[in-house]
Amino acid sequence: MKKSEDKTRDLVARTILENGPQSAAELAERLQLTPAGIRRHLDLLIEIGILEPREPHRVATSLRGRGRPSKVFVITDLGREKFEHSYDDLALSALRFLDTLEEPGLVGAFAASRANDIERRVTKAAEGANSQAKKVAALADFLSAEGYAAESKTTPAGVQLCQHHCPIAHVASEFPQLCEAETEAFSRLLGTHVQRLATIAHGDGICTTFIPATHSLQKSVSSKKKGARA
């Protein structure tokens, strides 16, 4: 029985790791568990430091309507280490080695090279995307395929690109050049300045990048609103 309980708790934690912050109700529905059962697992995962409860992201809550939104549960740094420590240790060792060499800027050069590779691969994947919204969607699809559990949310002001998971969060917390170069690559890909509002590497529950609306995006949002009223 204990082995089965442990397996279910690992499944709960991995579901949040791979899909981003989840409420108890969302987890219960996704994993086919009773409300009492999911609460029991969540309480223990919080107690041992794998999860922590947080207020939900405000963009998500605005879609819920009135009423007090349910808390969501996010993976802690300890929880991420439980699933990813071996690759993180290797990457950290390599970057720390580069950082000790006499030639300055090697870590930054590596971060830029990695970002350039992302830009090249997304550009190829987004061939034919003729609007900002489609380019952001292609970027989100690419990031999801790379393990970032990404999604885009279009608003009249622009697009929020949300990454619910970050495979390199532990490394990026020590070497922020990785996040900075990645953000610059997003700007080049989308042809506009983008702003990182939150990052998992800095302790937030989600990586959020704001992309201000271009004329094509505003036109797309306006068309959707007209279609909804029709």
SS3 sequence of the chain: CHHHHHHHHHHHHHHHHHHCCEEHHHHHHHHCCCHHHHHHHHHHHHHCCCEEEECCCHHHHHCCCCCCCCCEEEECHHHHHHHHHHHHHHHHHHHHHHHHCCCCCHHHHHHHHHHHHHHHHHHHHCCCCCCHHHHHHHHHHHHHHCCCCEEEEEECCEEEEEECCCCCHHHHHHCCHHHHHHHHHHHHHHCCCCEEEECHHHCCCCEEEEEECCHHHHHHHHHHHHHHHC
So what's the pLDDT on residue 230?
A: 47
Q: Which residue has the higher pLDDT, 41 or 7?
A: 41
Q: Which residue has the higher pLDDT, 38 or 157?
A: 38
- Least confident range from 51-65, 126-140, 175-189: namely 51-65
What CATH architecture is 2-75?
Orthogonal Bundle (1.10)
Q: What is the pTM of this model?
A: 0.61
So what's the pLDDT on residue 60?
A: 44
- List the chain domain ranges: 2-75, 85-229
Q: Provide mean pLDDT across the span 169-174.
A: 88
Asked whether the predicted pLDDT for residue 106 surpasses 90, the reply is yes
> Is 11 in contact with 27 (CB distance < 8 Å)?
no
- Least confident range from 37-46, 89-98, 171-180: namely 89-98
Q: Which residue has the higher pLDDT, 87 or 193?
A: 193
Domains 2-75 and 85-229 share a fold: no
So what's the pLDDT on residue 197?
A: 93
Q: Which residue has the higher pLDDT, 35 or 216?
A: 35
Task: Tell me which CATH code domain 85-229 carries.
Answer: 3.90.1520
Residues 110, 115, 120, 124: what is their CA dihedral angle, to the nearest 10 degrees? 140
Percent of the chain with pLDDT over 90: 44
Asked whether the predicted pLDDT for residue 85 surpasses 80, the reply is no
